[in-house]
Structure 1
Amino acid sequence: MVILTTCVAPAWVDYNGHMNDAEYARVFSLAVDTLMVRVGLDAAGRERLGYTLFTLETHLCYRREAHEGQPLEVTVTLLDRDAKRLHLFFAMHDEAGETLATSEQMLMGIDTQSHRPAPFPPDVAAALDGLPCTEAGSWPEAAGRRVGIPRR
């Protein structure tokens, strides 16, 4: 499911002539914001429900360079969820469909009054049911990876 389309802004390009690593994280953060709007957690929804999402963990993998003005498309897949957490996989693609980067994220639902984890409000939970999901055995190849130096 495409969650975000954008282009590489001139300010995102670094001294190497391609999108800076921090800007990949920015694009994935914008994708989370867009997802929040789609599930009813826009500014009005957050205020009305007293509820938001916090990012607990992210694992970003860089695959290819992105350059100034290049169109970007971000997709999202739900890997798992429980009453208050989302395990999501985002992929950033170029106009040819090549994967530029991936971001695996764990998000937590938060009651904004108590600043504590809380179950998804019913309307948000129903909207989350509409996200494309995958079974653990068929996760994208880059999902579930760990950082480390392979030893032989």
Structure 2
Amino acid sequence: MVILETRVAPAWVDYNGHMNDAEYARVFSLAVEALMDRTGLDAEGRSRHGYTIYTLETHLCYRREAHQDQPLAVAVTLLDRDAKRLHAFFELFDEERNLLATSEQMLMGMNQQSGRPDAFPAPVAEALAELPHAEAGAWPELAGRTIGIRR
């Protein structure tokens, strides 16, 4: 499910002539905001519920370069979730559906008043249930990877 469409901004291009690695993180951060908007945690929803989402951990995997003004699309699949956490997998594609990068993230629902983790409000939990979910044992190939030097 595509949740964000954008273009590579000129300011995102580095001295190598392609999108800087930090800007991939920016695009995935914008995708988390789009996910929040889609599930009822836009500005009005955050205010109404007193609730937001924090990113606890992220793992980016770069596959191909992106260049200035290139169209980008980000899709999301939920790998797992519980009452207050999301294990999400984002894929960044170009206009020809070439995979440019992935971002696997652990997101936590937070009560804004207490500053503590809390269960998703019921309408948000219902919206999350409508998102694409990967079946156990059928995660995307790049999900669940660890970082290290293979010997």
TM-score, normalised by the number of residues in structure 2: 0.99
Q: Aligned-pair distance for 1:38?
A: 0.6
Matches for 1:91-130 after TM superposition, within 5 Å: 91-130=91-130
**Quick one: which amino acid aligns to residue 47 of structure 2?**
E
Q: Aligned-pair distance for 1:136?
A: 2.3
Residue number in structure 2 paired with 1:15: 15
Residue number in structure 2 paired with 1:32: 32
Q: Aligned-pair distance for 1:93?
A: 0.3
**Quick one: which amino acid aligns to residue 31 of structure 2?**
A
Q: CA RMSD in A?
A: 0.4
Q: Aligned-pair distance for 1:53?
A: 0.2
TM-score, normalised by the number of residues in structure 1: 0.99
Residue number in structure 2 paired with 1:75: 75
In 1, Cα distance between the equivalents of 2:102 and 2:29?
A: 12
Gaps of 5+ in 1: none
**Quick one: which amino acid aligns to residue 142 of structure 1?**
L
Count of residues in correspondence between the two structures: 151
Residue number in structure 1 paired with 2:58: 58
Q: Aligned-pair distance for 1:128?
A: 0.3
CA offsets 1:70-108 (integer angstroms, 9 cap, x no match): 000100000000000000000000111100000000000
Residue number in structure 2 paired with 1:85: 85
In 2, Cα distance between the equivalents of 1:108 and 1:13?
A: 31
In 2, Cα distance between the equivalents of 1:77 and 1:132?
A: 5
**Quick one: which amino acid aligns to residue 15 of structure 2?**
Y
CA offsets 1:29-65 (integer angstroms, 9 cap, x no match): 0000001001000111101100000000000000000
Specify the SS of the correspondent of 1:108. strand
In 2, Cα distance between the equivalents of 1:127 and 1:117?
A: 19
Residue number in structure 2 paired with 1:48: 48
In 2, Cα distance between the equivalents of 1:132 and 1:118?
A: 23
Q: Aligned-pair distance for 1:135?
A: 1.4
Residue number in structure 2 paired with 1:132: 132
In 2, Cα distance between the equivalents of 1:108 and 1:129?
A: 16
Specify the SS of the correspondent of 2:61. strand
Specify the SS of the correspondent of 2:137. helix
Identical amino acids, percent of aligned pairs: 73
Specify the SS of the correspondent of 1:60. strand
